[in-house]
Amino acid sequence: MTQLQQKNFISPTQTSPTVAMFHPRLATVGQFIAVVLIWSLTPLAAVWTVHEIHWAWGLFIRFSLAIPFALICLVCFRLKLTLSKQALMSYIAGALGLFGSMTFCYMGATRVSSSMISIIYGTAPLWTGLISVFILKQERFHNRQWFGLTIAFIGLLLTMGIGSRDIQLDLVGVIYEIIAVMLYVLSMFAIARVGAGIHPIIQMTGSTIVSWLGYVCLLPFFLSAIPTELSSIQTSIALLYSALCSSVLAMIFYFHLVQKLNPTTVMLITIITPVLATIWGTLFNHEQIHLYLVTGLGLLCFGLFAYTYPRTKF
């Protein structure tokens, strides 16, 4: 993740349509808040979608709606979709984190709560660090980071109700979500490895189109689950929200933040998002909160903070 965050893909001219009417610092704060809110509500949108529509068709509809929005963004930013061999490889690498990750995420959403989805995705920085240390040999952890890593994983286990006889969590759903976050992390490394250096909006658009083609190939296996009725207002809102906000706007804002803020500041998004997602799940989807979840979430956030800010005194 660090490699991706440190690359300067966006020039001031290209980002100007987003911030021209506002003070740059105010625009950055607004985008930070927007990304946190969008990503904290995204798991709930996934759960609402699969509650009524088969996950494969839900994702096909989501990406079908996202492509026009992405193309509009290309026009607004005066960008063109690059079709070089290296760019195509980068799109495929990005699709690993869209097609692959979203497939398992939505499969898991049929079994676990929106808060659990967000909590598991919140561990992405930890998996990124472990891969960098043990597989790529690119980094070395400080003692504080090992401490934070341990506390965070203990917190994750507690949120799942490990050790409690009263809490029964769908293990298959949890495994699906862990696979999803691993594919998401591997996708970031794959994009960095390709090193196409293309604009993030072009990357997002290309990967979205490749992912859409993947679902076109996947749908023949799920023809029996094709939607035969119009979706409810709740599901329709969830699909539109996922397509416009989660797939397009959040990614544009996120990559802009990567250019403007210190990477450790951007990582605060990962710490805040699971907390808000748990609140939204309780308020809007009547998801239950138990002591193990609250305690585990607190430990997870503390561990993520210690891992992200190893030199901060508590």
Residues 68-103 have pLDDT tens digits of 999 999 999 999 999 999 999 999 999 999 999 999
Q: How far is CA 67 from the centre of its chain?
A: 18
Q: Please give the pLDDT value at position 112.
A: 94
User: Residues in the chain with pLDDT < 50?
Assistant: 1-21
What's the DSSP call for residue 122? T
List of long-range contacts for 223-231, beta carbons under 8 Å, 24+ apart: 225/54, 225/56, 225/57, 226/54, 226/57, 227/53, 227/54, 227/57, 231/52, 231/53
Q: Please give the pLDDT value at position 167.
A: 64
Q: Please give the pLDDT value at position 138.
A: 82
Q: Please give the pLDDT value at position 313.
A: 61
Cβ neighbours around 124 below 10 Å, total: 18
What pTM does this model have?
A: 0.87
Average pLDDT in the chain: 88
- CB burial string 208-225: b at 16+ within 10 A, e below: bbbbbebbeeebeeeeee
Sort 109 into a burial class: Cβ within 10 Å, 0-12 / 13-18 / 19+: buried
User: What gap in Å lies between CA 244 and CA 23, rounded to an integer?
Assistant: 25
Q: Please give the pLDDT value at position 19.
A: 43
Helices (H), 77-228: 85-95, 101-109, 114-121, 124-130, 143-159, 171-194, 200-218
Tokens representing 209 are 């189109």
